[in-house]
Amino acid sequence: MAIAALAAAQHGVVARRQLAVGGVTPKEIEVRMRAGRLIRLHRGVYAVGHERLRREGWWLAAVLAVGDGAALSHRDAAALHGLRPSNRARIDVTTPTRGRAGLPGVDLHRSRLDRRDVALRAGIPTTTVARTLVDLAGVVPREHVARALSEAERLGVLDVDRLEAVRARVRGRRGRGDAVLRAVLGEHRAHGATLTRSQLEERFLALVEDRGLPRPRINARVEGYEVDALWPQHRLVVELDGHPFHHTRRAFRRDRSKANALMLQGYVVLHYTYDDVTRRPTRVADELRARLG
């Protein structure tokens, strides 16, 4: 019963040390191994009943085999978070200690793991999204990092401030990975894809109020379209291009069609990105003031 309960919660795999805590003796483990009811995957890690495991079972088995403090990381953590697919036969695991080297099918990475960089996902100790992106930048091509970053935003799990904080904590590992991540983050900011809709709207409103400009209507409807900010008496529309849905071809065409239709009705349509709102607020305020009088 102890073995079955543990396996049910752990994708069909168990570790010898966990069984010992549950009261299973070494002799009982040996008996079950000989009977084929415990199947050795790594030293001290077993599949219960069969080896037809899903990939989550193999991931957890690798983490358990490396030892306490280990976490799924790099390419496989990105796959678990849904940021990119991983079809590799080998599994990335990071450990802050010496760990168990030479495990079959495991790529072991030794690095300090802050407790803030590890979380349980699907019952597997895994590096967080931010730490995963930092690590991923060192092992895959730049375009793969960019796609993973965009996917994190699409899923609503990207926190750029936290990502920068993790970069700062592991900055001692400067190298190709750090340069790749800095470049990808720079491109990401430039295209305004770092904040949710509500967050970017809040920052834009704060800019408007700080500069003494009249407050607009937010998410207003005009001429049959929804716009991000509207000053109806001045026929001024502002679109904040920091939303994940602004970055598909279909959305790009839709936004341009909307802007053209509004301009034909006599509206001025201004577009601002995350980078404009956070890094060039004076320019934004001057342009708004010129239109608002």
In this model, does residue 287 exceed pLDDT 60?
yes
* pLDDT at residue 193, rounded to an integer: 45
- Give me the amino acid identity at 11: H
Q: What are phi and psi of 80, to 5 degrees?
A: -65, -35
Beta strands 236-240 and 268-272: pairing type? parallel
How many C-beta neighbours within 10 Å does residue 93 have?
28
Residue type, 123: G
- Residues 248-261 have pLDDT tens digits of 455 566 778 899 99
Q: Among 53-62, 94-103, 232-241, 269-278, which stretch is predicted with the lowest mean pLDDT?
A: 94-103
Query: Average pLDDT in the 149-170 region?
Result: 88
Comparing 253 with 225, the larger pLDDT belongs to 225
Decide which of 97 and 165 is more confident.
165
For the structural domain made of 197-292, what CATH number should be given? 3.40.960.10
**pLDDT class for 99, splitting at 50, 70, 90?**
low
| Domains in the chain: boundaries | 1-53, 67-190, 197-292
Mean pLDDT, residues 178-194 taken together: 74
- The two tokens of residue 263 are 């301009």
8-52 residue pLDDT tens: 999 999 999 999 998 889 999 999 999 999 999 999 999 999 888
Q: Which whole number is the average pLDDT over 148-159? A: 86
Q: How many residues does the chain have?
A: 293
**Is the pLDDT at 71 greater than 80, yes or no?**
yes
Contacts for 35 with CB less than 8 Å, ≥ 6 apart: none
Distance of alpha carbon 206 from alpha carbon 216, whole angstroms: 11
Output the six-digit token pair for 183: 């470049």
Euclidean distance between CA atoms 254 and 244, whole angstroms: 14
- Alpha-carbon distance 43 to 29, whole Å? 13
Q: Share the mean pLDDT of the chain.
A: 88
- Three-state secondary structure call for residue 273: coil
CB–CB of 75/136 below 8 Å? yes
Percentage of the chain surpassing pLDDT 70? 90
Mean pLDDT of 117-143: 95
Residue 192's pLDDT is: 45
pLDDT digits (tens, 9 = 90+) for 188-200: 776 544 444 667 8
The model's pTM? 0.66
Output the pLDDT for position 194: 42
